[in-house]
Structure 1
């Protein structure tokens, strides 16, 4: 799966359960630059995908490519046991809110179509888990991912990794 493997950091993190039979967990930071992380075969993989609309494309093309990417993820890794996404309640602008809403609509419809359980996790919850501060900045989130042994490309990937670690910690408590 070219799109998924292109930015994959496949070295396991000491904080991620290394059980090769552990369920597949997917964590997404939705946006035009989408951060993703997953626990696959006991290892953490992560990266970013870019869904910017081309000059001569309609606005819906980003969402079609996103759904195709989700389908590729399914073919590569199999059915996720749970898919988590960063739940954003405030956006810097109207355009960002519209883009996020489009990704969220496509994601939840895809999960419903495939019977994949999904859950939104508030941004503050993820930041507090990763850094101890619910309003941590991008640099702090990147540093948290590095402490877990990852090398995130940007804050989007760092946010997805933090969400993955949160989900694994939640699963361990259950």
Structure 2
């Protein structure tokens, strides 16, 4: 799927998420109103380090008013004033597209949808458990839809696994 200089594929390798390809420095905005849960302003990823916890590099996670956690990573920057607990509105810039973490030197936004489980430090859930493409398609067409039912169903079926 592509519009202008933004493209994404409906699937992702390994687990449900989507990589949204855009120019480095393109704005990353909140998809809904809510509160920031987690912010990583430092890229701690190392190919020789543990794979998983720091793969996203610089990132932001948001707990939407719909009860869904939205996660964006590989950012170049996190916007000023974006900190845990801060309230954001839909369309508010939270960062810029980058290639931090394990982005393999390709500018993109890793986008994951999940339940808030531990809210922080549960990277194996935060990275994504519900396929985002159908929601991205709907939002692109200006349809107001939420993945909350799919996220609730996933949590009912899987709980909140304590480890990957």
TM-score, with structure 2 as normaliser: 0.28
Q: Relative to total residues, which structure has the larger helix share, 1 or 2?
A: 1
What TM-score, normalized to structure 1? 0.27
Asked which structure has the greater CA Rg, the reply is 1
